[in-house]
Structure 1
Amino acid sequence: MLEISPTLAIPDDELVERFVRSSGPGGQNVNKVATAVELRFDIAQSPSLPEPVRTRLLARRDRRLTDEGVLVINAQRFRTQERNREDAKERLAAFVAAGLVAPKPRIATRPSRGSKERRLGAKRERGTIKRGRTGRDWD
């Protein structure tokens, strides 16, 4: 069971782990042992995610998300398979935790009268400066 928050946990049977050869450090061991982990989590079909969280996670523009809504995390930072598994699960937990927080809605505001006047005054001054540069003979 992967604990995300006190109210949300992902069961292990929803996570698919595949072990592949790592391209990172390890010497000759790299060629023999599959230490890198490819962790897959199907966000679109997961029964353990609440609907608003699922929607927020699928709406994110993340290159690790496939078109079918499967999150693929590759972990190969460490030399051992176990440490890479932990790293992949930590990164998955961080990704899902980011979807738990609803974004604050933007409140539409209008510029004040004074700020409009200051802006237009600055534009007028700039135009005057530029207008003063033309029409002169600079021999």
Structure 2
Amino acid sequence: MTIEQLKISGIEKEINFAFAKSGGKGGQHVNKTESKAELYFNIGESTILPEFSKKIIYEKLKNRINDKGELVLADETSRSQHTNKANVIEKFYELIAAALKQKKKRRPTKPSKSSKAKKKSDKIHHKKIKALRRGDF
């Protein structure tokens, strides 16, 4: 699924948010506002994602899933709660899309004639150098 497909699917309805006080340096303002945005998405209870997609997400994003089976993301880069919420939603879409993107299978290639010839000439050259080192001439 691409990011556009995820946005169209209405997956945003299944997302829960929590807000907390952001860490780090700051003045009087930092202790009063809850600007850190935390996103919680319960993968198992999702009605939009098919079962095979849920399994892939569980495997690829297992480090970000808590004991309740929720995907947890947080953002506290901005001083604004709305900006952090928008950032964490965008991060969520990117993570899900990247997890569900299929890898291209590698097609094995055969070496060309010129590369085979170069390899052989390199071996012969190396053989001659080693023969000169032997000293039994």
More strand by share: 1
- Unmatched 5+ stretches in structure 2: none
- Unmatched 5+ stretches in structure 1: none
CA deviations 1:70-125 (Å, max 9, x no partner) are 32211101111111111111111112222443222222333346534432432442
User: How far apart, CA to CA, are the structure 2 residues paired with 1:133 and 1:67?
Assistant: 65
User: How far apart, CA to CA, are the structure 1 residues paired with 2:103 and 2:57?
Assistant: 12
**Residue of structure 2 equivalent to 1:9:** 10
User: How far apart, CA to CA, are the structure 1 residues paired with 2:87 and 2:93?
Assistant: 10
**Residue of structure 2 equivalent to 1:64:** 64
1:116–1:96 distance in 2 versus 1, CA, 3 Å? same
User: How far apart, CA to CA, are the structure 2 residues paired with 1:123 and 1:103?
Assistant: 37
What's the offset of the Cα at 1:10?
A: 0.2
**Residue of structure 2 equivalent to 1:77:** 77
What's the offset of the Cα at 1:23?
A: 2.0
Tell me, what secondary structure is at the counterpart of 2:64?
Answer: coil
Q: Is the 8 A contact 2:41 2:70 kept in 1?
A: yes
Q: Is the 8 A contact 1:26 1:79 kept in 2?
A: no
More helix by share: 2
**Residue of structure 2 equivalent to 1:23:** 23
2:21 partner amino acid: R
Q: Is the 8 A contact 2:20 2:34 kept in 1?
A: yes
* Pairing 1:1-139 to 2, within 5 Å after superposition: 4-5=4-5, 8-12=9-13, 14-24=14-24, 26-60=26-60, 63-66=63-66, 70-112=70-112, 114-129=114-129, 132=132
How many residues are aligned here?
A: 133
* Runs of 4 or more above 6 Å deviation: none
Aligned-residue identity in percent = 33
